[in-house]
Structure 1
Amino acid sequence: MGRPKQFDPDAAVEQAMQVFWRKGYAASTPQDLVDALGIGKGSLYNAFGSKHALFELALRRYRDSQALALVELLEEPGPVKARLRRTLELLAEMDLADPDRRGCLAVNTAAELAGTDEVATGLVRRMFDRTEGAFRALIEEGQRSGEIAPGRDPAALGSMLLNTVVGLRLMARVAEGSGRLTRVIDATVDSL
């Protein structure tokens, strides 16, 4: 009788995140997951309980890495509008360079599961809230520095910027090049 296969749960969540990001929740089968993780179905369920529980962990991992990276970009030093432009351009470049055109796992999850999966919807909502809050803080900083008119509503502009990111991430999934994305980025930054 052989020893059970040992695996690193953290690495397994990373691999599962990649599967869910590439295929979506519904299209990711337990077999896809065990193949990616290199474990048996019994080990998958023993370690994580269910496909959905593993998905929740994967979505949290995405939040803690990818979504947090956007906030960190916005908080770098330099002029506000330049940071915003650099962040939006980096997102577009990253999405266009991805051969699978996966887009954003949070945006994909919202499109697939919002309204039908309360836990996933809540996780995505909190990610969007964090991103919108970072945009609002950026706008407020721009108002203090004089880059953005003080009469503009930071909450409304933060919401607009979140919507811009969601739209960019979706458009990049089908874009034939960077032209349309660049126009959106230019118009967004110029509107501030």
Structure 2
Amino acid sequence: MSKSGRPREFEDTTVIDAAMEVFWKNGYEACSTDDLCKGTGLGRGSLYNAFGSKHELYEQALLRYHRAGIDAQIDILRRPGRLRERLRALLEWAIREDFSDAGRRGCLIINAAMERAQKDPAVERIFKQHVDRLGQALSEAIEEGRNAGEVPSGRRTSELAALFLSSYYGLRVLNAAAQNRGMADQVAEGVLNVLN
């Protein structure tokens, strides 16, 4: 969050983006102030004057990643078309994201939750916002699919949304850990088969 008196140049998202890359590569605990200075191009004093602490910069980086990522995922679920195709598009988006860079870093929000959610209320809060928003968008998409006759009878919207959500996040953790694109494609197809 902005503090009054903070120099305007540090409001630029390029600094937060650069810090996000450093945290994404190293994680929070292993990320030193020197790493952040090198990554952002700021001196130690400028970095702390601008953001107050390593943790505040980390929180800003996570929020930026969360907002961009969740908006992209929700946009996919709100597209016109059949439910199965929207869910497939979301899974394919996740697989592309998870396998798109040489470092195979996985999802920054999931990484942060695995590393720090139990001991860091800010990380827990951001991850919960992420999951809650995606879960709500899934429920809305599934309900639309139900109204269009695309959901098997006897399957409740809340049950299908929870199943898809847990499978989706499980897939993303598996992608980061196993780094097996063929397995990711098989898992995605299996998840979609619950709509048969």
State the TM-score, normalizing by the size of structure 2: 0.90
Q: Which of 111, 134, 139 matches 1:136?
A: 139
Which structure 2 residues correspond to residues 13-52 of structure 1 after superposition, within 5 A? 13-52=16-55
Q: Which whole-Å deviations, capped at 9, do the CAs of 1:111-162 have from their partners, x for residues lacking one?
A: 0012100111111111111111111111111101111124322122212222
Q: CA RMSD in A?
A: 1.6
2:169 aligned partner: 166
Partner of 2:4: none
Equivalent AA in structure 2 for residue 90 of structure 1: W
- Any residues of structure 2 matched to 1:20-169 within 5 Å, and which? 20-169=23-172
Percent identity, aligned pairs only?
A: 38
Partner of 1:179: 182
Aligned AA (2:114): A
CA contact (8 A) 2:91 2:168 kept: yes
The gaps in structure 1 that reach 5 residues or longer are 1-5
- What is the alpha-carbon distance in structure 1 between the residues aligned to residue 124 and residue 179 of structure 2? 30
Aligned counterparts of 1:24 and 1:120: Cα–Cα separation in 2 = 12
Deviations along 1:7-65, one digit per CA (max 9) or x if unpaired, are 56311011111111222111111111111110100000000000000111111101111
How far apart, in 1, do the equivalents of 2:117 and 2:143 lie?
A: 30
Aligned residues: 188
| Partner in structure 2 of residue 3 of structure 1 | none
Instruction: Give the alignment partner of residue 189 of structure 1, picking from 164, 177, 192.
Output: 192
Task: Indicate the SS of the match to 1:151.
Answer: coil
Deviation for aligned residue 1:182? 1.2
CA contact (8 A) 2:104 2:179 kept: no
Structure 1 consecutive aligned stretches of length 4 or more whose deviation exceeds 2 Å: 6-9, 174-177
Contact 2:10–2:50, Cα closer than 8 Å, also in 1: no
Structure 2 alignment gaps of length 5 or more = 1-8
SS, match of residue 99 in structure 2: helix
